[in-house]
């Protein structure tokens, strides 16, 4: 005898501990199976792009800190990189190295938070406590560098704001060695765990063609086996000088995305290590005009953010403020695929799939 | 347990400083092992040492709030344990920007919390709109929607600042039980 | 889980048209100009900047004219990336013109180093479909979309950036719609990745996309009055 089931509308969020912020998902379930899902965004829409039209280019940098607040340094890099490209400005060597070091450390911190919160979503508490202790060490390094813990406002057009304090480079080197050891522990702790594997293997699968059509980027695209990393494919800053591998997955499921995050931490550690060894002496700020005026025209420039391609589109009229500034936010674009991934899955997989897409709501809503 | 001795005044006997009690109360308690107070005071003492906040992390401040709850800063030692449901929460830490779209939800969450309840506005966005004060979609401070007890400045406030703010809230709860007006 | 660097062509498009073989050399050359510039940089700034240890807000820059930005070395020969962009623009423009006629293209220009084509709305969907599927172009990665309000000129412009893995190149396609009750055809059926971007433009700029599967406000509430990213929007409080 068949069990009679009924469709039920269920609301998740915007206040929910596992939606990583204020995302709301309205799902239609038939028993345990999801038949329809609709993400509702905009609960953190702060109008950054409108505010930016009334701000000078240097004043926009702190607002980018608050977009993807887990990867503020990379956001800084995106906006200063875009303005520098538009104005053809040169950046001193030391500043370029410092930028790469902090951007990669930030990527590590961001991926560590992914690791902790993803496991927390799946019901494991201890990884969260471990990674936040590690992240605290990175934050301390940043804190010594620029005085802030989360919203750094560190990079400037033409360089970086502060040179390293005494002993910073040595400390950073020690941290890299420390984290390398810790990574083995994380793999031992989680990666082989039977319960974890059952929750993520083969779940939330999509192929390369879908990912490209949905404009996915970053780990979401690479987990499908497609090699696309802006650090390699459209080299910016000085990334072409470092030896690192682009981590790609095979199946495009949640497990691959999890593994890509962990392996990317290892690759980022490699870059940080090389950059710390090669860092030259010299100034950290290049010669830039006091008031930045981007020549009239349109510019698009992108960096590889922690979550994908973070692009900045500037329309300038030749004034010190942009006519229009648009951020191509990877989380916002990546989230579009969510309904497609959820349909047909059981309710218990919802959080596992949503967590692996790895979104930050500050970036989704801007 | 640490015994405090007043070196300036040797006449005063040594006493144990108890968590959540004033100096006089601690002296009283050390001397006789008995403290006479009102039921309200006892309730306030218990409440202030087991504040369960609702996780209401809307933006950047939420990450610092998570960091405060994690191993390094460890909010648990103050009896503060995050709850995911407003029905189980005593206080709400508004960690982040409140947009106009979010405002009705915040009001609803606040209404769902059982009495007594307290509100902490963490960071400049929740205090007054912060850097987004000129944005078209942002509410200029959470106190336009619900009453706020403690404001914590910063963008975002560091974990020690959050701990300080929560300690101030505990103090407020205890003082109010003694009939003092705290604002 | 393999960390080896697979070539993009291997995974996505198994069969490669004969035409792309000649063009595949070009993208490699395009990436090159970055490298010598970056290598030459260490000596140049170091030599002149060592005396001043901490040039925070450098004074010599203030003396220089802010508007007149020049390349650090007075190289007279034009940027090779610019030349390539112009060549590509001509090729793509020619292809679109032969397919749809000259009337399809409103404007064609190189913005910085990106070939940019403004397409007439009535040819918009067909042109996007064409550059996506034509075997010699294959611009099938939708990278970015943005809308801009040009109040004085009376239109809202939609900018899309498409990437071709075959050519390893970006082009920008644009379409314009009227500010007042204007609309342009939607390309969401071609690129699913532009679904929310189009909704965002509709929400914040008020340009309608005909044929969009789900055109609703995305960031603001349904009852919201006005479109904030328009230049004449007045913030209420």
Cβ contact, residue pair B58, A46, below 8 Å: no
B150-163 as b/e, with b when 16 or more CB fall inside 10 Å? Answer: bbbebbbbbbebbb
Kindly list the residues from chain C whose CB atom is less than 8 angstroms away from the CB atom of residue B136. Answer: 228, 233, 235-236
Mean pLDDT of A341-361: 90
**Using one digit for the tens of pLDDT, what is the confidence trace for A66-97?**
998 999 999 999 999 999 999 989 999 999 99
Q: Between chain A and chain C, how many beta carbons pairs sit less than 8 Å apart?
A: 186
- Establish if C213 belongs to a structural domain: no
For residue C88, the domain's CATH number is 3.30.460.80
Beta bridge partners of B53: B91
Please name the residue of chain C whose CA is at the shortest distance from the CA of residue B103: C221
- pLDDT above 90 covers a percentage of chain A that reads 73
Cβ contact, residue pair B136, C221, below 8 Å: no
- Model confidence band, residue A160 (pLDDT cutoffs 50, 70, 90): very high
Q: ipTM of this predicted complex? A: 0.91
Cβ contact, residue pair B136, A70, below 8 Å: no
Give the whole-angstrom CA distance, residue A127 versus residue A339.
28
Nearest to A25 by CA among A345, A281, A366: A345
Cβ-based neighbour number of residue A231 at 10 Å: 20
CA angle C124, A317, C187 (to 5 degrees): 15
Kindly list the residues from chain A whose CB atom is less than 8 angstroms away from the CB atom of residue C13. Answer: none
Q: Residue B37 has what pLDDT?
A: 80
Report chain C's mean pLDDT, rounded to a whole number. Answer: 75
What letter would DSSP give residue A280? P
Report residue A130 as tokens: 């471990």
Least confident interval from A172-176, B123-127, C21-25: C21-25
A362/B contact by beta carbon, under 8 A:
yes
- pLDDT above 70 covers a percentage of chain A that reads 100
Say if residue B88's pLDDT is above 50: yes
Cβ contact, residue pair A130, B71, below 8 Å: yes
- Nearest CB to C144: which of A246, A324, A328? A328
Which residue of B75, B81, B97 to mutate against A (max A Cβ within 10 Å)? B97
- Model confidence band, residue C74 (pLDDT cutoffs 50, 70, 90): low
Mean pLDDT of B131-138: 91
- Nearest CB to A245: which of C3, C12, C144? C3
Q: What residues of chain A, 202 to 241, have a C-beta less than 8 Å from chain C?
A: 208-209, 212-216, 225-228, 232-235, 238, 240-241
Cβ contact, residue pair B101, C221, below 8 Å: yes
3-state secondary structure (DSSP) of residue A219: helix
Cβ contact, residue pair C228, B136, below 8 Å: yes
Compute CA C66 distance to the chain's CA centroid, rounded to the nearest angstrom: 27
**Using one digit for the tens of pLDDT, what is the confidence trace for A236-284?**
889 999 999 999 999 889 999 999 999 999 999 999 999 999 999 999 9
Which residue of B129, B132, B136, B144 to mutate against C (max C Cβ within 10 Å)? B136
Cβ contact, residue pair B136, C219, below 8 Å: no
Q: What residues of chain B, 107 to 166, have a C-beta less than 8 Å from chain A?
A: 109, 131-132, 134-138, 155-156, 158
**Using one digit for the tens of pLDDT, what is the confidence trace for C188-202?**
999 999 999 999 999
Cβ contact, residue pair A14, B102, below 8 Å: yes
CA–CA min distance B19, chain A (Å): 26
Report chain B's mean pLDDT, rounded to a whole number. Answer: 87
Kindly list the residues from chain A whose CB atom is less than 8 angstroms away from the CB atom of residue C60. Answer: 287
- Model confidence band, residue B2 (pLDDT cutoffs 50, 70, 90): low
Which residue of B52, B54, B67 to mutate against A (max A Cβ within 10 Å)? B67
- B91 appears as a binding residue in the annotation: no
CA–CA min distance B39, chain C (Å): 46
Residues with Cβ within 8 Å of C185's Cβ and at least 6 positions away in sequence, in order, are C121, C124, C125, C209, C210, C211
CA–CA min distance A300, chain C (Å): 9
Q: Residue A189 has what pLDDT?
A: 87
Report chain A's mean pLDDT, rounded to a whole number. Answer: 91
Say if residue A65's pLDDT is above 80: yes
- Establish if C40 belongs to a structural domain: no
- How many helices and strands in chain B, by DSSP H and E? 6, 6
Q: What residues of chain A, 28 to 67, have a C-beta less than 8 Å from chain C?
A: 41-42, 45, 47, 49-50
Mean pLDDT of A209-215: 92
Kindly list the residues from chain A whose CB atom is less than 8 angstroms away from the CB atom of residue C112. Answer: 85-86, 297-299
Nearest to A102 by CA among A71, A148, A69, A147: A71
Which residue of A98, A288, A357 to mutate against C (max C Cβ within 10 Å)? A288
Please name the residue of chain C whose CA is at the shortest distance from the CA of residue A86: C112
- Model confidence band, residue C177 (pLDDT cutoffs 50, 70, 90): very high
Q: What is the largest CA-CA distance in chain A?
A: 79
Mean pLDDT of C60-70: 42
- Establish if C214 belongs to a structural domain: no
- Model confidence band, residue A108 (pLDDT cutoffs 50, 70, 90): very high
DSSP E strand stretches across A257-320: 297-304, 309-316
Cβ contact, residue pair B101, A43, below 8 Å: yes
- Model confidence band, residue A35 (pLDDT cutoffs 50, 70, 90): very high
Kindly list the residues from chain C whose CB atom is less than 8 angstroms away from the CB atom of residue B140. Answer: 237
- The number of domains in chain A is 1
Mean pLDDT of A118-147: 91
3-state SS track over chain C: CECCCCCHHHHHCCCCCCHHHHHCHHHHHHHCCHHHHHHHCCHHHHHHHCCCCCCCCCHHHHHCCCCCCCCCCCCCCCCHHHHHHHHHHHHHHHHHHHHHCHHHEEEEEEECCEEEEEECHHHHHHHHHHHHHCCCCCCCEEEEEEEEEECCCCEEEEEEEEEECCCCEEEEEEEEEECCCCEEECCCCCCHHHHHHHHHHHHHHCCEEECCCCCCCCCCCCCCCCCCCCCCCCCCC
Cβ contact, residue pair A287, C60, below 8 Å: yes
Mean pLDDT of A310-319: 92
Nearest to A19 by CA among A46, A48, A45, A39: A39
Cβ contact, residue pair C3, A215, below 8 Å: no
- The number of domains in chain C is 1
Instruction: Give the residue with greater pLDDT, C34 vs A338.
Output: A338
Q: Residue A366 has what pLDDT?
A: 81
- Nearest CB to C161: which of A92, A289, A300? A300
Cβ contact, residue pair A227, C141, below 8 Å: no
Cβ neighbourhood burial of B134 (10 Å; 0-12, 13-18, 19+): middle
Q: Residue C75 has what pLDDT?
A: 55
Q: Residue C49 has what pLDDT?
A: 38
Say if residue C23's pLDDT is above 60: no
- B125 appears as a binding residue in the annotation: yes
Instruction: Reply yes or no: is the peptide bond before residue B116 cis, omega within 30 of 0.
Output: yes
* Contacting subunits of C (3+ beta carbon pairs below 8 A): A, B
Mean pLDDT of B72-86: 89
Domain enclosing residue C91, as ranges: 80-180
Say if residue A329's pLDDT is above 60: yes
What letter would DSSP give residue A246? P
Q: Residue C54 has what pLDDT?
A: 41
Cβ contact, residue pair B136, C235, below 8 Å: yes
Cβ neighbourhood burial of C50 (10 Å; 0-12, 13-18, 19+): exposed
Least confident interval from A137-141, C54-58, C138-142: C54-58
A340/B contact by beta carbon, under 8 A:
no
Q: Residue A155 has what pLDDT?
A: 93
* Contacting subunits of B (3+ beta carbon pairs below 8 A): A, C
- Model confidence band, residue C73 (pLDDT cutoffs 50, 70, 90): low
Q: Residue C5 has what pLDDT?
A: 45
Instruction: Give the residue with greater pLDDT, A184 vs B6.
Output: A184
Domain enclosing residue A91, as ranges: 56-364
Say if residue B26's pLDDT is above 60: yes
- Model confidence band, residue C11 (pLDDT cutoffs 50, 70, 90): very low
- Model confidence band, residue C234 (pLDDT cutoffs 50, 70, 90): confident
Q: What residues of chain C, 50 to 109, have a C-beta less than 8 Å from chain A?
A: 50, 52-58, 60-62, 64-67, 69, 71-72
Least confident interval from A2-11, B4-13, C8-17: C8-17
Cβ contact, residue pair A263, C1, below 8 Å: yes
Say if residue B64's pLDDT is above 70: yes
- Establish if A68 belongs to a structural domain: yes
- Model confidence band, residue C76 (pLDDT cutoffs 50, 70, 90): low
Q: Residue C27 has what pLDDT?
A: 40
- How many helices and strands in chain A, by DSSP H and E? 15, 8
How many Cα neighbours within 13 Å face the side chain of A288?
A: 30
- Establish if C71 belongs to a structural domain: no
- What φ, ψ does residue B43 adopt, rounded to 5°? -65, -40
Mean pLDDT of B134-140: 91
CA–CA min distance B93, chain A (Å): 13
CA–CA min distance B133, chain C (Å): 10
Cβ contact, residue pair C219, B137, below 8 Å: yes
Q: Are A248 and A226 in contact (CB under 8 A)?
A: yes
**Using one digit for the tens of pLDDT, what is the confidence trace for C130-176?**
999 998 888 989 999 999 999 999 999 999 999 999 888 899 999 99
Give the whole-angstrom CA distance, residue A83 versus residue A60.
11
Residues with Cβ within 8 Å of A123's Cβ and at least 6 positions away in sequence, in order, are none
Residues with Cβ within 8 Å of C72's Cβ and at least 6 positions away in sequence, in order, are A90, C44
For residue A128, the domain's CATH number is 1.10.645.10
Q: What is the pTM of this model?
A: 0.85
Q: Are A355 and A123 in contact (CB under 8 A)?
A: no
Give the whole-angstrom CA distance, residue C159 versus residue C144.
8
Say if residue C67's pLDDT is above 90: no
Cβ contact, residue pair B101, C235, below 8 Å: no
Give the whole-angstrom CA distance, residue C60 versus residue C70.
14
């Amino acid at each position: 005898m068949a069990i009679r089931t009924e469709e039920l509308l269920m609301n998740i969020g915007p206040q929910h501990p596992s939606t990583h912020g204020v995302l709301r998902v309205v799902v239609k379930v038939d028993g345990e199976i999801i038949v329809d899902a609709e993400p509702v965004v905009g609960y953190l829409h702060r109008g950054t792009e409108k505010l930016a039209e009334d701000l000078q280019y240097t004043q926009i940098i702190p607002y980018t800190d608050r977009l993807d607040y887990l990867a503020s340094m990379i956001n800084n890099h995106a906006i200063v990189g875009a303005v520098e490209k538009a104005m053809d400005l040169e950046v001193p060597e030391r500043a370029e190295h410092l930028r790469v070091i902090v951007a990669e450390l930030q990527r590590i911190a961001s991926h560590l938070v992914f690791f902790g919160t993803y496991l927390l979503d799946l019901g494991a508490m201890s990884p969260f406590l471990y990674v936040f202790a590690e992240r605290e060490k990175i934050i301390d390094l940043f804190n010594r560098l620029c005085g802030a813990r989360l919203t750094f406002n560190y990079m400037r057009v033409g360089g970086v704001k502060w040179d390293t304090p005494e002993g910073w480079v040595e400390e950073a080197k020690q941290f890299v060695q420390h984290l390398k050891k810790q990574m083995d522990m994380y793999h031992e702790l989680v990666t082989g765990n039977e319960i974890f594997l059952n929750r993520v293997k083969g779940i939330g699968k999509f192929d390369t063609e879908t990912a490209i059509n949905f404009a996915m980027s970053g780990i979401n695209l690479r987990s499908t086996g497609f090699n696309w990393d802006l650090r390699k494919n459209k080299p910016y800053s000085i990334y072409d000088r470092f030896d690192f591998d682009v981590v790609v997955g095979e199946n495009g499921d949640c497990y691959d995305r999890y593994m890509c995050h962990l392996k990317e931490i290892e690759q980022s550690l490699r870059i940080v290590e090389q950059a710390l060894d090669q860092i030259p002496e010299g100034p950290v700020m290049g010669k830039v005009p006091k008031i930045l005026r981007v020549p009239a025209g349109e510019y698009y420039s992108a960096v590889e953010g922690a979550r994908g391609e973070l692009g900045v589109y500037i329309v300038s009229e030749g004034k010190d403020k942009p006519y229009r500034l648009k951020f191509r936010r990877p989380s916002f674009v990546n989230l579009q695929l969510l309904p497609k991934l959820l349909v047909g899955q059981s309710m218990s997989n919802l959080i596992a799939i949503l967590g692996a897409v790895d979104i930050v709501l500050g970036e989704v809503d801007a | 347990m640490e015994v405090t001795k007043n070196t300036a005044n040797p006449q005063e006997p040594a006493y144990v400083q108890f968590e959540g009690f004033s100096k006089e109360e601690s002296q009283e308690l050390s001397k006789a092992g008995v403290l006479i107070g009102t039921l309200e005071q006892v309730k306030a003492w218990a409440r202030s040492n087991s504040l369960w906040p609702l996780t209401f992390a809307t933006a950047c401040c939420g990450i610092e709030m998570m960091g405060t709850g994690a191993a390094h800063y460890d909010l648990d030692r103050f009896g503060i344990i995050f709850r995911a449901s407003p029905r189980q929460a005593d206080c709400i830490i508004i960690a982040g920007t409140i947009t106009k779209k979010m405002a009705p939800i915040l009001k609803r969450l606040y209404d769902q919390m059982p009495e007594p309840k307290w509100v902490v506005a963490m960071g400049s966005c929740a205090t007054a709109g912060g850097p987004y004060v000129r944005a078209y979609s942002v509410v200029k401070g959470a106190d336009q929607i619900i009453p706020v007890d403690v404001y914590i400045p910063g963008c975002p406030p560091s974990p020690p600042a959050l701990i300080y703010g929560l300690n101030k809230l505990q103090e407020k709860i205890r003082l109010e039980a003694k009939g003092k007006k705290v604002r | 889980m393999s960390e080896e660097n697979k070539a993009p062509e291997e995974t996505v498009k198994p069969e490669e048209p004969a035409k792309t073989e000649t063009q595949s050399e070009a993208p490699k050359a395009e990436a090159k100009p970055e490298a010598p510039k970056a290598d030459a940089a260490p000596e140049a700034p170091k030599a002149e900047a060592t005396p001043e240890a901490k040039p925070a807000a450098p004074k010599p820059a203030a003396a220089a004219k802010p508007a007149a930005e020049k390349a650090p070395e007075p190289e007279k020969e034009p940027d090779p990336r610019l030349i390539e962009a112009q060549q590509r623009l001509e090729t793509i423009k020619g292809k679109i013109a032969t397919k749809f006629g000259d009337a399809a293209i409103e404007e064609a220009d190189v913005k910085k180093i990106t070939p940019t084509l403004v397409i007439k709305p009535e040819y918009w969907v067909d042109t996007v479909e064409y550059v996506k599927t034509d075997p010699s172009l294959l611009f099938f990665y939708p990278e970015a979309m943005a809308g801009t309000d040009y109040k004085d000129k009376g239109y809202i412009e939609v900018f899309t950036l498409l990437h071709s893995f075959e050519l390893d190149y970006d082009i920008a396609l644009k379409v314009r719609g009227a500010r007042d009750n204007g609309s342009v055809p939607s390309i969401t059926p071609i690129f699913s990745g532009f679904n929310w971007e189009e909704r965002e433009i509709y929400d914040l700029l008020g340009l309608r996309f005909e044929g969009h599967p789900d055109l609703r406000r995305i960031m603001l509430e349904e009852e919201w009055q006005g479109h904030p990213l328009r230049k004449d929007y007045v913030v209420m409080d």
